[in-house]
Amino acid sequence: MWDNRIIVIGSGAAGLMAAIHAAEAGSVALITDGPLGRSNSIMAQGGLQLPRPGEAALRSFEDDIRRSARDQVDAERVRTFVENVDTTISELVEWGLDLDRDERGDIVRRSAGGLSEPRIVSVRDQIGPAIMKVLRKVVESCPVEIREHTTVVDLRPIDGGIEVVVRERDGNVKTLRARAVVCCTGGTAHREAVRLAQPTTNPANRNHELFDVLRGLGLPLIQEDYFQYQPFGIVETWGVEGGKCVPESIVNFPVRLLDRERRDIGEIRRDRYDLTHLMFELAEQGRAVELGDGRRGFWLTLSDLDEATIAATFPKVHHFQQRAGALGQDILVYPFLHYYLGGFRTGPRGATEIPGLYLAGEMVGGLHGRNRLMGNGITDSLVHGAIAGKAAREYVARNRN
Ligand SMILES: Cc1cc2nc3c(=O)[nH]c(=O)nc-3n(C[C@H](O)[C@H](O)[C@H](O)COP(=O)(O)OP(=O)(O)OC[C@H]3O[C@@H](n4cnc5c(N)ncnc54)[C@H](O)[C@@H]3O)c2cc1C
């Protein structure tokens, strides 16, 4: 007897998409340890990558991913990702995602380090909240049982299915049985930041706990120790849970990075890997501004932009400057630990070696190599969350009894 045909774990972008796409299977539960939607996904700021229509644009998207990765990528996963982005984002737009448009009504596409053509689309600097609002609305209208404040503490493969051990809000522990499980419990960058005592953009979370359970089940990993830094972490929020950052699309505007002597450190339109390595290297050489308490940074010249532009395009940054009494001023930035590049190795549709167990989102590796391009994080979670949800639905249809 099965409690649910499919259980989806986690309510970030990947989990919500998986639940929506699994819903047709009937008897789907979405289990999440906090309130619905609390996740890294809701923190996303800068935007997502959406290539223009046409084969040439898809090939250049794929080439950018491979070139920036500087290492092995999972070729099938990259191909599946690139080929499904447009359908996935179109679905979100149909559901009500209101992307920034120009005066002609065309979607605005911006550039970022490592992109051979402008591809970043956004909702000002709040792509995460905008996407999550739409997904919450859709999932709540689907036949999905939502179990909030419920933590999955163990997964046990059994004959024909998987046992999901949960701890409820009141501390009660229960064992549920499902035909298929889609696990979307995110990346482990927060734990890595704590381990290294480094600043991070990630809010505190327990994503690593189920990660360790899955590792204990013997699932293979790829590039296990690869993590990424976001170059523009705001030094003032260093050490704060979920430190703030300036979206990388700021490089579309005439800003520079300056060292302690206010010398320009060079081209800032490089990809994250090059830019963060340059910043670390210059800091080692003593060129960063040192605050005397371990914090250091480089000046990002927001003073080169007029206030109206910042307020219209980066309202969160503007709000931060306002609160810090720093309107019209430069701010200190430094690379903050941001994203888990490695992860579990799955099939292109998220299947694992355990029958009925699917994974999606930041916990899966192989898409980015050593360097994720800006805008390919939440996009990966959306695309592969949808695919894994459908794959689980088809799996239970094939294995009905
Ligand atoms: C500040 C910030 C800005 C970002 N900006 C961008 C951007 O502009 N563009 C971009 O592409 N990407 C961006 N990213 C990255 C992107 O947001 C994430 O990589 C992506 O959204 C991860 O989605 P996910 O669904 O895989 O995981 P998450 O969003 O981390 O969701 C994991 C979910 O699993 C739940 N969970 C974990 N463990 C358990 C458990 N044991 N039991 C039950 N539930 C559990 C969590 O509570 C959460 O709901 C940003 C990230 C941050 C932190």
Express each pLDDT in 315-372 by its tens digit. 999 999 999 999 999 999 999 999 999 999 999 899 999 999 999 999 999 999 999 9
User: Is residue 211 predicted with pLDDT exceeding 70?
Assistant: yes
All CATH 3.90.700.10 domain ranges of the chain, comma separated, are 230-337
The per-residue pLDDT for range 24-38, each reduced to its tens digit, is 878 999 999 999 999
Mean pLDDT of the chain, nearest integer: 96
Q: Which of 40, 169, 201, 245 for a ligand 1 pocket mutation test, highest count of atoms within 8 Å of Cβ?
A: 40
Q: Which residue has the least CA distance to atom 31 on ligand 1? A: 12
The per-residue pLDDT for range 378-397, each reduced to its tens digit, is 999 999 999 999 999 999 99
- Whole-number Å distance, alpha carbon 54 to ligand 1 midpoint, is 30
User: Ligand 1 site: residues with CB under 6 angstroms?
Assistant: 9-15, 31-34, 38-41, 43-48, 127-128, 151-152, 184-186, 201-202, 205-207, 209-210, 245, 247, 339, 361-362, 375-379, 381
- Whole-number Å distance, alpha carbon 279 to ligand 1 midpoint, is 26
Could you give the CA distance from residue 125 to residue 250 in angstroms, rounded to a whole number?
Answer: 10
Could you give the CA distance from residue 275 to residue 273 in angstroms, rounded to a whole number?
Answer: 6
- Contact (Cβ atoms closer than 8 angstroms) between residue 39 and residue 182: no
Q: What are phi and psi of 146, to 5 degrees?
A: -100, 120
pLDDT-above-90 percentage for the chain: 96
- Whole-number Å distance, alpha carbon 40 to ligand 1 midpoint, is 3
The per-residue pLDDT for range 291-322, each reduced to its tens digit, is 999 999 999 999 999 999 999 999 999 999 99
Residue 271's pLDDT band (boundaries 50, 70, 90)? very high
DSSP, residue by residue, 41-53: GGG--S-EE-PPS
Residue 401's pLDDT band (boundaries 50, 70, 90)? low
DSSP state of 107: B
Q: Which of 41, 154, 363 for a ligand 1 pocket mutation test, highest count of atoms within 8 Å of Cβ?
A: 41
User: Is residue 173 predicted with pLDDT exceeding 90?
Assistant: yes
- Whole-number Å distance, alpha carbon 260 to ligand 1 midpoint, is 34
Question: Does this model's pTM top 0.95?
Answer: yes
Min mean pLDDT across 2-6, 131-135, 142-146, 303-307 is at 2-6
**Per-residue pLDDT, 76:** 96
Q: What is the bridge-based pairing of β-strands 296-300 and 331-340?
A: antiparallel
Which CATH homologous superfamily contains domain 4-190+341-398? FAD/NAD(P)-binding domain (3.50.50.60)
Residue 4's pLDDT band (boundaries 50, 70, 90)? confident
User: What CATH fold (topology level) applies to the domain 230-337?
Assistant: Flavocytochrome C3; Chain A, domain 1 (3.90.700)
Mean pLDDT confidence for 49-60: 96
User: Ligand 1: which atom is nearest the Cα of residue 128?
Assistant: 17
Q: Which residues of 308-340 are buried (b: 16+ CB within 10 A; e: fewer)?
A: eebbebbebbbebbeeeebeeebbbbbbbbbbb
DSSP, residue by residue, 355-375: TTEEE-STTB-SSSTT-PPTT
All CATH 3.50.50.60 domain ranges of the chain, comma separated, are 4-190+341-398
The per-residue pLDDT for range 81-97, each reduced to its tens digit, is 999 999 999 999 999 99
